[in-house]
């Protein structure tokens, strides 16, 4: 068994144990194996193992890496910032985008989706820490942006995503995102990474974005 398979199995067991501790029923979050910067040799063992959800940060890198190995069972998630000039390429390779955060991007996505007759699933990224260096919409604009995306652009918004400020306790941010998600009656939550995925379970994250804990440290 490859190291990445062992690590994924261990993480899955930890998640299962934590969910039992929390006494949550009918709750089974998905693990996105964040394979950014890792080559096919590290990814293929997980594909062979049967894992179906993978995450990438850069559109160009993902397109080159996955063009020959992506199959119909694999869901590819863009978890990094998407620029409008990369939308067409992103739509051709990804199934989920976790970083929808502005009208210009949303409009471009809507236009390109119509051309190729393909609909992706989207998470709205929210900048809960109000950090200038991070993407994400201002929390106060969430409701209007969500309404615009679904009513004017016919985008399939399935949930929200956040990146808590580095070094801070993520739980207040996870709690806030959970409440905002509920206010819109959305079902999916993209939160929790290698350092805090067990904490994200307390707030019913449905997509955990885990990279280094699966693949090892990036060099």
pLDDT at 219: 63
Bridge pairing between strands 188-190 and 156-161: parallel
One-letter-per-residue 3-state SS of the chain:
CCHHHHHHHHHHHHHHHHHHHHCCCCCCCEEEEECCCCCHHHHHHHHHHCCCEEEECCHHHHHHHHCCCCCCCCEEEECCCCCHHHHHHHHHHCCEEEEECCHHHHHHHHHHHHHHCCCCEEEEEECCCCCCCCCCECHHHHHHHHHHHHHCCCCEEEEEECCCCCCCCCHHHHHHHHHHHHHCCCCEEECCCCCCHHHHHCCCCCEEEECHHHHCCCC
Bin 192: left if φ > 0, else alpha if -120 < ψ < 50, else beta: left
pLDDT at 50: 94
Bin 137: left if φ > 0, else alpha if -120 < ψ < 50, else beta: beta
pTM for the full model? 0.96
Domains held by the chain: number? 1
The structure tokens listed for 57 are: 């940060």
CATH number of the domain within which 123 lies = 3.20.20.10
**What's the average pLDDT block by block, 10 residues per block, for the chain (219 residues)?**
89 97 96 92 92 96 92 95 96 97 97 92 95 90 97 98 94 97 97 96 98 85
Q: CA-to-CA distance for 78 and 61, rounded, in angstroms?
A: 11
What residues make up the domain containing 191?
Answer: 3-215
* Residues 174 and 202 sit within 8 Å (Cβ to Cβ): yes
């Amino acid at each position: 068994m490859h190291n990445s398979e062992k690590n994924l199995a261990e993480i899955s067991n930890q998640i299962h144990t934590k969910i039992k501790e929390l006494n949550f029923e009918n709750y089974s979050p998905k693990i996105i194996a964040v394979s950014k910067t890792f080559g096919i040799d590290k990814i293929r063992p997980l594909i062979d193992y049967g894992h179906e959800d993978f995450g990438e940060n850069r559109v160009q890198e993902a397109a080159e890496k996955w063009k020959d190995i992506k199959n119909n069972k694999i869901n590819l998630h863009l978890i990094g910032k998407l620029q409008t000039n990369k939308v067409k390429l992103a739509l051709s390779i990804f199934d989920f985008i976790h970083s929808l955060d502005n009208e210009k991007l949303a409009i471009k996505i809507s236009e390109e989706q119509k051309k190729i007759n393909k609909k992706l699933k989207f998470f709205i990224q929210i900048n809960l820490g109000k950090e200038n260096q991070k993407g994400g919409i201002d929390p106060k604009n969430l409701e209007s942006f969500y309404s615009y995306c679904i009513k004017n652009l016919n985008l399939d918004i399935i949930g929200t995503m956040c990146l808590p400020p580095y070094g801070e306790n993520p739980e207040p941010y996870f709690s806030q995102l959970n409440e905002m998600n509920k206010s819109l009656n959305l079902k999916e939550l993209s939160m929790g990474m290698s350092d805090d995925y067990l904490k994200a379970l307390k707030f019913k994250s449905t997509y955990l974005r885990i990279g280094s804990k699966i693949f090892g440290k990036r060099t």
